[in-house]
A and B are shown apart, each in its own frame.
Chain A
Amino acid sequence: MSLLALEGLTVDYRTQRGIRRAVDGVTLEVRPGEILGLVGESGCGKTTLGRAVIRVLPRNARIAGGRVLFEGVDLAALSEPQMRAYRWRKIAMVPQASMDSLDPVYRLGDQFREVLTVTGGLGRAEAGERTLALCDLVGLDRRRLASFPHELSGGMRQRAAIAMALALHPRLLLADEPVTALDVVVQHHILRRLRRLTAELDLSIVLVTHDISVIAQTCDRMAVMYAGTIAEVGATAEVFASPRHPYTMGLQNSFPNLVRPEQTLIPIEGSPPDLIAPPPGCRFAPRCPFAVDRCREEAPAPREIERGRWAACHRAEEAGELRAQSRDARRWRVGVR
């Protein structure tokens, strides 16, 4: 039983050049108490996907299709007032660069009290207690509540932003790049905290990031996004050990690993397609070393290759052989071949 289930979610942006389909028919589930990592490059639609779930999209964007089932209720079909009962109370969000979103003229404690009493409807005393509990939860020194945001480090502000999101006991937390721009030590601690929170609060987290090392160390399951579609989904350990989609293989090839013996990094040549007029067939085909004619004609539908492992690739069954070839840098020079 999943907490959140996306069924064919599609999000369109109106732009001057035409409709840009940023999220194209994404089907995905989030289970209770898990951290699901959503990884992809800039512009792949991962942020839009997170925002579409609680419907805080820019004005030129709209959910063009599909369902967002949260505890069995289709959020995409709710009216705006109905939706408000879900935001923050049941599904909270830590948006990108949220650590810069604290109001610089108020002390941290006052900002907590403000949201807890006004939006959360708590009494003053209760709000005070809750604030202290939240600080302990995210590992923020209680004395910091008397500080102004500019007196805090980036890590502390990020902790404060996470605490704020957790204030009303949500079931699901959408964290968009929560540790980007933070130093590695702080990053390490915050990711540990997030892991612990899922157990302590029976919370599910969707962690949106571009960094597969963050996924590797934090997430139970992961979904790889490419150009608005899901390339591959599965348990983190399995996806890392035996990627089924060539894009995932390419990401692994291009990411340095400090622990393993050194090996040459292999880039994925080219760039993602223009989502206003994407090419027919698989979105990744133009950059894929293993693309065959079928890939350029027919878009692969996501298929469950083995239990819990989904991949959108025509050649997912040959993944073992492709993985072996994918270590060869020459194969990836797609355009030159």
Chain B
Amino acid sequence: MRSGSLEALPRPRAAGAAAWRRALGALGSVLRHDPFAAAGICIYAVFVLVALLAPWIAPYDPQQTIVRGDDLMASRPPGREFLLGTTNVGRDIFSQLVYGARPALTVGFAAAFCVTLLGTVVGIVAGYSGGWIDALLMRLADVAFGIPFLPLVIVLVAFLGPSLWNIVLTMALLLWKDTARVVRAQVLVLRERGFVESARVLGASPVRVMLVHIAPNVLPVALLYGSLAVGWAILTEASVSFLGFGDATQISWGFMLQDAYVSQALSSGAYNWFVPPGICIMLVVMAGYFISRGYEELLFPRLRRQ
């Protein structure tokens, strides 16, 4: 061997496996040292399972008005038959709660996916292209920053019609800006790095540089902002539904709250009706935040020691 030893090199496949093991190990250690992130992941896991298995978990159809004989099972207190009681028109609250996990998680993950995708693409294109493209995209981001969030969602949903996907769409239209800005800042740094310049000298097209050399390096940060968007999206969906602009054909936690509100469940002391969906929303949003925080520490380990 003429130019130094390579004895320290692990075998190629082992190198890949080692990288995975390191990544998983780091994840494991964060979970062990960060009980919040661990709790967040458990909460998500439970809700995802509930959403997937809703038809088997829920004892009733959430829309069904339950009638026993001639009796409408309205405003029943929690008990053996109805775990969390029933609404004033005789629907099973527990079943509603179980089915409510579906729109919450759908909106959350779909919005997070769209936000990450849009924000990353805009951030990379703006940061790498520079010039007027960058100026245009960043002015658009400024505009998005200036628009009050909830009112616009309401207007758009009212305009486009109440559906989950319209909520996801408006979220994506408004929340991409944070991801885009952070990604752009990263790209500005990456653009000057040797390996990007080296790829340019070799004749790599801008698309190739962005896809092959820049995107994999900004993805972790983009995912961090995406994970923050999950909580936001769930909260927004709940707010919109609570305000009565939601999709009335689909039971969601926000819809449950609104239903309880207009049925004066608060004044009649039907805590079993409005407290559980509130707790669920809170749990999911909190869990999202905990996971983001843990993930952030994984990305920027220096934060951990401060």
Contact = CB atoms under 8 A, between A and B. Distances in A.
Interface of A: 269-271, 274, 286, 333, 335-336
B4 A333 contact: no
B33 to A, nearest CB: 16
Contact of A274 (B2, B3, B8): B8
B146 to A, nearest CB: 33
A245 B270 CA distance: 90
A269 B8 contact: no
Interface string B1-17: 11111001000000000
B8 A270 contact: no
A270 B2 CA distance: 7
A140 B1 CA distance: 51
B2 A333 contact: yes
A274 B7 CA distance: 11
B4 A271 contact: yes
Contacts of A271: 4-5
Nearest to B5: A270
A164 to B, nearest CB: 28
Nearest to A334: B2
Interface in B96-148: none
A336 B1 CA distance: 6
The secondary structure that dominates the A interface is loop
14 contacts: A269-B2, A269-B3, A269-B4, A270-B3, A270-B4, A270-B5, A271-B4, A271-B5, A274-B8, A286-B5, A333-B2, A335-B1, A335-B2, A336-B2
Q: Give the top 10 A-B pairs by smallest Cβ distance, nearest first.
A: A271-B4, A270-B4, A335-B1, A335-B2, A336-B2, A269-B2, A269-B3, A270-B5, A333-B2, A269-B4
B78 to A, nearest CB: 54
A286 B7 CA distance: 13
A333 B2 CA distance: 7
A336 B5 CA distance: 12
B153 to A, nearest CB: 43
A336 B4 CA distance: 11
Interface of B: 1-5, 8
Contacts of A286: 5
B276 to A, nearest CB: 47
Nearest to B7: A274
Contacts of A336: 2
A40 to B, nearest CB: 18
A271 B4 CA distance: 6
Contacts of B1: 335
A100 B8 CA distance: 35
Contacts of B5: 270-271, 286
A11 to B, nearest CB: 23
A274 B9 CA distance: 13
A274 B5 CA distance: 11
Contacts of B8: 274
A288 B55 CA distance: 75
Contacts of A270: 3-5
A264 B5 CA distance: 24
Contacts of B2: 269, 333, 335-336
A143 to B, nearest CB: 35
Given A270-B4, A286-B5, A335-B1, 11 more contacts: A269-B2, A269-B3, A269-B4, A270-B3, A270-B5, A271-B4, A271-B5, A274-B8, A333-B2, A335-B2, A336-B2
Nearest to A335: B1
Nearest to A286: B5
Nearest to A267: B3
Contacts of B3: 269-270
A175 B3 CA distance: 33
A333 B3 CA distance: 9
A274 B4 CA distance: 12
A82 B143 CA distance: 61
A247 to B, nearest CB: 16
Contacts of B4: 269-271
A217 B238 CA distance: 75
A59 B8 CA distance: 27
Contacts of A333: 2
A212 B47 CA distance: 66
A17 to B, nearest CB: 10
A333 B5 CA distance: 13
A336 B2 CA distance: 6
B283 to A, nearest CB: 37
B1 to A, nearest CB: 5
B112 to A, nearest CB: 34
A269 B4 CA distance: 6
B25 to A, nearest CB: 11
Nearest to A271: B4
A335 B2 CA distance: 6
Nearest to A273: B5
Contacts of A274: 8
Nearest to A336: B2
A269 B146 CA distance: 61
A271 B2 CA distance: 11
Nearest to B1: A335
A35 B2 CA distance: 38
B306 to A, nearest CB: 14
B165 to A, nearest CB: 48
A313 B180 CA distance: 60
Contacts of A335: 1-2
